[in-house]
């Protein structure tokens, strides 16, 4: 009915990090909704997890070495959720016309370079069968081959992310404590990723995989064309149920996992 107000549920989400309970507040639909409504909460959770990990690492004498202007990790194959792929498309479509044209041209250039390099399947978002159901971890062969192409993320400008406030979860959680120059070779064993007590990005991917459509994740660099070809569908669930699944996916042993986007 037009004008009907959405019924929201006030939630207090409790997550244990390093043995300490941390709470987050959120208002989510009581009725069936889609994971995109969780993104503000997920970003807040991710920020807390990353901040705690960064402080703990600095206290051990290993501060995060990532700085604006580097951008090496923005040439990796970055795995994002289907939800975020559609959000990326909407973000681009909402840009002023000139800016939108510039960004769309960069996405098209990525597709062209992938096809020229013999990665036509990847350019269409068709991940190899042995990869698509993994927790967002690109295997060594695919990750290294992609980074050797030197393709920058369409949002990378002057070594920095031009959509920093709206960047995907995977981008928010990947940092290193090793010298930045090592990141040009992601196979270097001296690279030290920041150890996180759980991956919110992986938790969202885990939730989406329950849809069972065979799409495990979407490369950020082809998200625009992928979202245009795939409707934003999937099983809708009540907001509290979605949050419960996310927290369960983080799990008590979540701190043992860390993203391996290009290794």
Residue 246 backbone class (left: φ over 0; alpha: ψ -120 to 50; beta: rest): alpha
Confidence at residue 128, expressed as pLDDT on a 0 to 100 scale: 65
Q: Tell me, yes or no, whether 3 lies in a domain.
A: no
Q: Tell me, yes or no, whether 155 lies in a domain.
A: yes
The 3-class secondary structure across 57-82, one letter per residue, is: HHHCCCCCCCCCCCCHHHHCCCEECH
Query: Which pLDDT band, with edges at 50, 70 and 90, does 254 fall under?
Result: very low
Q: Tell me, yes or no, whether 176 lies in a domain.
A: yes
Confidence at residue 261, expressed as pLDDT on a 0 to 100 scale: 35
In this structure, what are the phi and psi dihedrals at residue 59, rounded to the nearest 5 degrees?
A: -65, -25
Other beta carbons within 10 angstroms of residue 212's beta carbon come to 9
Q: Tell me, yes or no, whether 60 lies in a domain.
A: yes
pLDDT, tens digit, for every residue of 72-99?
888 888 999 999 999 999 999 999 999 9
Q: Tell me, yes or no, whether 54 lies in a domain.
A: yes
Query: Which pLDDT band, with edges at 50, 70 and 90, does 184 fall under?
Result: confident
Q: Share the mean pLDDT of the chain.
A: 84
Q: Tell me, yes or no, whether 2 lies in a domain.
A: no
Contact 78, 168 (CB under 8 A): yes
Q: Tell me, yes or no, whether 101 lies in a domain.
A: yes
Q: Tell me, yes or no, whether 262 lies in a domain.
A: no
Contact 142, 77 (CB under 8 A): yes
Confidence at residue 114, expressed as pLDDT on a 0 to 100 scale: 93
Place of tokens 């990141």: 183
pLDDT, tens digit, for every residue of 118-149?
988 888 877 765 555 555 455 567 888 888 89
Domain range for 129 is 8-256
The number of domains in the chain is 1
Residue 209, classed as helix, strand or coil, is helix
């Amino acid at each position: 009915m037009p004008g009907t107000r959405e019924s929201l549920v006030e939630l207090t989400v409790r997550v244990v990090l390093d043995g300490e309970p941390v709470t987050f507040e959120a208002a989510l639909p009581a009725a069936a909704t889609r994971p995109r409504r969780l993104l503000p909460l997920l970003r807040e959770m991710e920020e807390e997890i990353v901040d705690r990990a960064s402080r703990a690492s600095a206290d051990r004498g290993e501060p995060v070495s990532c700085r604006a202007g580097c951008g090496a990790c923005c040439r990796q194959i970055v795995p994002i959720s289907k939800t975020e792929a559609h959000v990326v498309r909407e973000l681009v479509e909402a840009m002023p016309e000139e800016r939108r044209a510039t960004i769309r041209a960069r996405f098209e250039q990525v597709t062209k370079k992938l096809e020229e390099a013999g990665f036509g399947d990847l350019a269409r978002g068709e991940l190899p069968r042995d990869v698509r159901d993994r927790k967002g971890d690109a295997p060594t062969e695919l990750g290294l081959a992609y980074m050797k192409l030197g393709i920058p993320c369409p949002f990378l400008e002057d070594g920095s992310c031009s959509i920093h406030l709206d960047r995907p979860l995977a981008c928010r959680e990947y940092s290193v404590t090793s010298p930045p120059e090592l990141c040009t070779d992601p196979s270097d064993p001296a690279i030290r990723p920041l150890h996180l007590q759980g991956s919110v990005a992986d938790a969202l991917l885990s939730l989406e995989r329950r849809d069972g459509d065979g799409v495990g994740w979407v490369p950020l660099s082809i998200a625009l064309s992928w979202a245009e070809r795939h409707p934003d569908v999937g099983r809708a669930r009540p907001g509290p149920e979605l949050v419960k699944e996310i927290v369960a996916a983080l799990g008590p042993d979540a701190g043992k996992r860390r993203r391996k986007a290009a290794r």
